[in-house]
Structure 1
Amino acid sequence: MAERTGVSVHTLRYYERIGLLTVARGAAGHRVYGADDFARVVFLNRLRMTGMPIRELRRYVALVGEGEQTVPERLAMLIAHREAVRAQLAELQFALATVEFKIAAYGGDCAP
């Protein structure tokens, strides 16, 4: 799973330990990851990449476990997080423009 998702084994075990991931075990006690586990790990990893705190990830996963009646709350969480990500993107775009300005000032090429 670590190789397929790009998430370290340590992170997978951490997600399992804090309840973000519940993994089935085979007869020998080895972890058996299914397609749903893969999708969840990829989704959680992407949310982490956008800066969503573990606390919020845990709340989101708990809501998923509570069923369909929590969809409105999950949606609200994701909408609020999207706004935070958009604000981060705006800050990064401004920072990039500053770097490109300096590169141009030194006579460098700013083409991507």
Structure 2
Amino acid sequence: MKSRTAKFSIGQVVRHRKYPFRGIIYDVDPVFSNTDEWWLAIPEEVRPHKDQPFYHLFAENADTEYVAYVSEQNLLPDSSGDPIRHPQVEEMFTRAVDGNYHIKMARRN
């Protein structure tokens, strides 16, 4: 499998191309790196290719917050400017005045 350069970056807010959820990226895999069970659970007609970046998101929809694993082909930038309400966002990111998220620097002893 050949990996590609990721189109999106950690801290970027994105939305799903087909389903009504959005989230903030907290990690990126250069190619698919989940279980075969997860992969096979996706209906074949909508199953994405494995040879593209996959993103770990602190995600949310109208009802709940959760963690999602999404292929690059299914993501679009989110330009709403609305904050992400997922409870883990504040542990990892700070939100700047301009609405962008930045990863927190690790504290050193």
TM over 0.5: no
| TM-score using structure 2 length | 0.30
| TM-score using structure 1 length | 0.30
Pair member with larger Rg = 1
